[in-house]
Amino acid sequence: MPNSEVYEHFRPDEKGFVDRAWEWVERAAELHEVRRTDFLDPRQAHILSALAGRNRDVAVRFDGGYPEAERKRAILAPDYRPIEHEDAGIVVLTISSADRKIGELDHGDYLGAILGLGVKRDKIGDLHVSEDGCQALVAEEIADFLRIHLKQAHRVEVSADIAPLSELKVVRPVLEETVISVASMRLDGVASDAFRLSRAKIVAPIRAGRCRVNWKTEEDPSAVVREGDIVSVQGMGRFKVLAVDGVSKSGRIRVRIGKFV
């Protein structure tokens, strides 16, 4: 178990993951194990990287299937073992349909269809959605299960095939920019304007633990957000604070945000 000094660097609600990541590091250093993790979000990858950095006997590499991946698997090994070419175990699940309505499906539709089969989120990497369907990066150990059982996404009949990473067509996220005017940089104020909801309606999901700032759960509506922060609210989407453009004569703050579409 990590000592109390280690825990001071992370949030209390992250303790469970810190304990798991610390065990991975310790086993790589002391038992000379090579371990491949499930997909980690950027915050989890940061925690694991920080813990691995405390032990010079451990090497770690992150791989999400393509260089700009958000969600990545990690490979840990004793430092004497080269891991540059260790297989990250990631394949492309290509989801398609003869139904023209497939062009109306979005990221949440595809992710919901996969998770609806009982697959854990940790087994799924980034999703690349286009008008023709979706390419999902998935852990190779569940790829066959998804190929066989994934038949529908939001009432659209689909089929799934497995492809190598070389066939991945990266779809980079598009940000829909807008400028909002807020009284302060409080999370509830910025998020309510970003999602065009009343502050009362945005406070409830924040307090319920459905909001993340930079992939960390944030339950305090009064938390301050800053330039570069990425805010997501389950069921509503996510946005990035692109810039704080100054204060108006009335004292309100002009904030430029980009909603992921």
78, 104, 139 - which closes a domain? 78
**How sure is the predictor about 13, in pLDDT bands with cuts at 50, 70 and 90?**
confident
Cβ contacts of 7 within 8 Å, gap of 6 or more: 15, 18
pLDDT digits (tens, 9 = 90+) for 145-192: 999 999 999 999 999 999 999 999 999 888 999 999 999 999 999 999
CB-CB contact of 261 with 176 (8 Å): yes
pLDDT at residue 139, as a whole number = 98
State which amino acid sits at residue 170: V
Quickly list H helices, the chain: 4-7, 15-30, 42-52, 107-115, 140-149, 187-194, 199-207
Do residues 240 and 246 touch, judged by C-beta distance below 8 A?
no
pLDDT at 157: 97
The CATH number given to whatever domain includes residue 114 is 3.30.70.330
| pLDDT, mean over the chain | 94
Which pLDDT score, from 0 to 100, does residue 216 have? 86
Q: Are residues 118 and 152 in the same domain?
A: yes
pLDDT at 174: 85
Position 24 scores a pLDDT of: 96
**Where among 78, 99, 126 does a domain terminate?**
78
- 84, part of any domain: no
CA-atom Rg of the chain in angstroms? 20
Q: For 97-119, what is the mean pLDDT?
A: 93
CATH number at residue 19: 3.30.1370.160
Q: Is residue 83 part of a domain?
A: no
Mean pLDDT of 64-90: 96
**pTM score of the predicted model:** 0.83
CATH number of residue 256's parent domain: 3.10.290.10
Q: Residue 2 pLDDT > 80, yes or no?
A: no
Looking at the fold, whether 183 and 233 belong to one and the same domain comes out as yes
Are 154 and 98 found together in one domain? Answer: yes
Asked if the structure places residue 60 within a domain, the reply is yes
Which residue, of 30, 54, 78, is where some domain finishes? 78
In a domain, 85, yes or no: no
Q: What pLDDT score was predicted for residue 1?
A: 65
242 domain residue, yes or no:
yes
Mean pLDDT of 227-246: 92
Q: Looking at the predicted structure, is the pLDDT value of residue 70 above 90?
A: yes
**Looking at the predicted structure, is the pLDDT value of residue 200 above 80?**
yes
162 domain-assigned: yes
192 lies in the same domain as 122: no
Establish if 10 belongs to a structural domain: yes
Is 190 in the same domain as 207? yes
- C-beta of residue 12 within 8 angstroms of C-beta of residue 218: no
Token representation of residue 206: 């924040």
| CB environment 39-75: b (16+ within 10 A), e (fewer) | bbbbbbbebbeebbeebeebbbbbbbbbeebebbbbb
On whether both 162 and 180 belong to a single domain, the answer is no
**How many structural domains compose the chain?**
3
122 assigned to some structural domain: yes
The answer for residues whose C-beta is within 8 angstroms of residue 233's C-beta and 6 or more apart is 191, 195, 202, 205, 206, 210, 211, 212
Average pLDDT over residues 67-94: 96
Residue range of the domain that includes 8: 4-78
Same domain flag for 159 and 186 = no
Is the pLDDT at 94 greater than 70, yes or no?
yes
